[in-house]
C-alpha cells in the first residue's frame, strides 16, 4: 500500500511539473522534464538493485567511491544531459575528472604547503585538499548569501573575480571551475587569477563547452534557463583567453582509457586547463605527463 501511495505522489508531481513547465517554458521543455523525471526514477530503481548485484554496477564515482548502475540525468530546462549527478555525493562530470587527473598526474597537490583560493567552492573539489593542515584554504563567492551557504566554517570571503582586492602573488593554487561563463569581463577575471597567483603557482580552470560551436557566443542578458550563463564557450577561442599563462589543455582521452571514460562518465566536453604563472619554479609547477596539448 505504501508503494502505491509513493507512486501516486510521484506521478502527481510529474503531471504538475509537466503542465507548469509547458505553461512557462513551452511543450519541448515540458517533455524534457517528464523524460528526465522518468529516466531518473528508472536509474534510482536500478541503483537499488545494483547495490546487491555487482554485475549491474556499470559506473563508479572517484570522488566518494560509490558504484552503481548509472549517475542521474540533469534537466537544464532547454535540454537534458545524461549521467551527471552521483547519487551519493552529487559530484558532476567536471569534479570527477579533476579528482582523477590530480590523483594520477598531480599527486603531490593534496599535500602542498601554501595557500589555495577556490572560486565558488564545491564540496567535492575541496575534498581533494581538506585533510591537508599545511595548506591554507580560502574560498570566494560573489555575494554574502552564497558565501554563508557554502563557507560555513568561515574559510570564505565575498569578492568580485574581476577585481578581487587581494594582494598580488598571494596563492600557490587556484581552483576555478564553471565560474567564468557567468562573468561579463571574463578576460579581466583570468588576468586577476594570474595576478593573485605566486610565480610558479597553478590554476585549474574549467568551463562548460558547447562542442557544436566554432566561436564563443556572448549573450547580452544572462540566460536563466542555463544557470544564468553569459558565455557559450567554444574550445578554439577560449584558449586564446589563457595566453597570460603557460597552460596545458587536458582532455579526458589524454589520460583516461575509453573504458574509464565510460565507467566514470567523463564526456569529451570536459576539459581541464592547467595554467602556470610564469616565474620561479615551485612545487606545483612540474608538468603532468599526460596532456593533449601544450601552449603558452
Task: Give the angle 24-30-32 at the CA atoms, nearest 5°.
Answer: 135
CATH fold for the domain made of 93-295: Rossmann fold (3.40.50)
Q: Which tens digit of pLDDT belongs to each residue from 89-147?
A: 999 999 999 999 999 999 999 999 999 999 998 889 999 998 999 999 999 988 655 55
Per-residue pLDDT of the chain (296 residues; tens, 9 = 90+): 677 787 888 889 999 999 999 999 999 999 999 999 999 999 999 999 999 999 999 999 999 999 999 999 999 898 999 999 999 999 999 999 999 999 999 999 999 999 999 999 888 999 999 899 999 999 998 865 555 555 546 577 889 999 998 999 999 999 999 999 999 999 999 999 999 999 999 999 999 999 999 999 999 999 888 888 999 999 999 999 999 999 999 999 999 999 999 999 999 999 999 999 987 544 445 444 444 443 33
The domain locations on the chain are 2-85, 93-295
Q: Is residue 146 classed exposed, middle or buried when 0-12, 13-18 and 19+ CB atoms within 10 A define those classes? A: middle
Beta strand pairing call for 171-177 and 135-141: unpaired
Entry pTM? 0.88
SS3 130: coil
**Contact between residue 101 and residue 250 where contact means Cβ atoms under 8 Å apart:** yes
Give dist(CA 288, CA 274) in Å, integer: 9
- Determine the Cα–Cα distance for residues 138 and 126; give it in Å rounded to an integer: 10
User: What whole-number distance in Å separates Cα of residue 147 and Cα of residue 161?
Assistant: 14
Burial of 236 (0-12, 13-18, 19+ CB in 10 A): exposed
CB of 177 within 8 A of CB of 94?
A: yes
Amino acid at each position: 500500500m505504501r508503494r502505491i501511495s509513493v507512486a501516486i505522489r510521484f506521478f502527481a508531481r510529474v503531471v504538475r511539473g509537466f503542465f507548469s513547465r509547458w505553461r512557462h517554458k513551452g511543450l519541448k521543455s515540458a517533455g524534457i522534464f517528464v523524460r528526465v523525471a522518468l529516466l531518473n526514477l528508472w536509474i534510482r530503481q536500478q541503483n537499488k538493485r545494483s547495490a546487491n548485484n555487482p554485475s549491474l554496477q556499470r559506473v563508479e564515482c572517484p570522488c566518494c567511491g560509490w558504484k552503481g548502475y548509472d549517475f542521474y540525468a540533469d534537466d537544464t530546462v532547454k535540454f537534458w544531459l545524461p549521467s551527471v549527478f552521483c547519487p551519493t555525493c552529487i559530484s558532476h562530470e567536471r569534479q570527477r575528472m579533476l579528482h582523477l587527473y590530480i590523483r594520477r598526474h598531480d599527486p603531490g597537490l593534496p599535500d602542498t604547503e601554501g595557500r589555495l583560493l577556490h572560486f565558488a567552492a564545491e564540496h567535492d573539489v575541496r575534498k581533494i585538499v581538506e585533510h591537508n593542515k599545511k595548506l591554507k584554504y580560502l574560498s570566494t563567492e560573489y555575494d554574502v548569501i552564497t558565501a554563508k551557504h557554502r563557507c560555513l566554517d568561515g574559510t570564505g570571503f565575498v569578492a568580485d573575480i574581476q577585481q578581487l582586492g587581494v594582494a598580488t602573488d598571494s596563492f600557490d593554487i587556484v581552483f576555478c571551475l564553471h565560474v567564468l561563463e557567468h562573468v561579463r569581463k571574463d578576460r579581466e577575471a583570468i588576468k586577476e587569477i594570474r595576478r593573485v597567483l605566486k610565480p610558479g603557482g597553478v590554476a585549474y580552470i574549467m568551463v562548460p563547452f558547447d562542442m557544436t560551436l566554432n566561436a564563443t557566443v556572448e549573450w547580452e542578458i544572462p540566460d536563466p534557463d542555463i544557470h544564468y550563463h553569459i558565455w557559450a564557450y567554444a574550445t578554439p577561442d577560449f584558449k586564446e583567453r589563457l595566453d597570460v599563462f603557460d597552460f596545458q589543455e587536458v582532455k579526458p582521452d589524454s589520460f583516461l582509457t575509453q573504458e574509464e571514460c565510460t565507467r566514470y562518465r567523463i564526456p569529451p566536453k570536459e576539459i581541464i586547463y592547467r595554467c602556470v604563472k610564469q616565474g620561479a619554479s615551485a612545487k606545483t609547477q612540474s608538468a603532468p605527463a599526460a596532456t593533449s596539448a601544450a601552449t603558452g
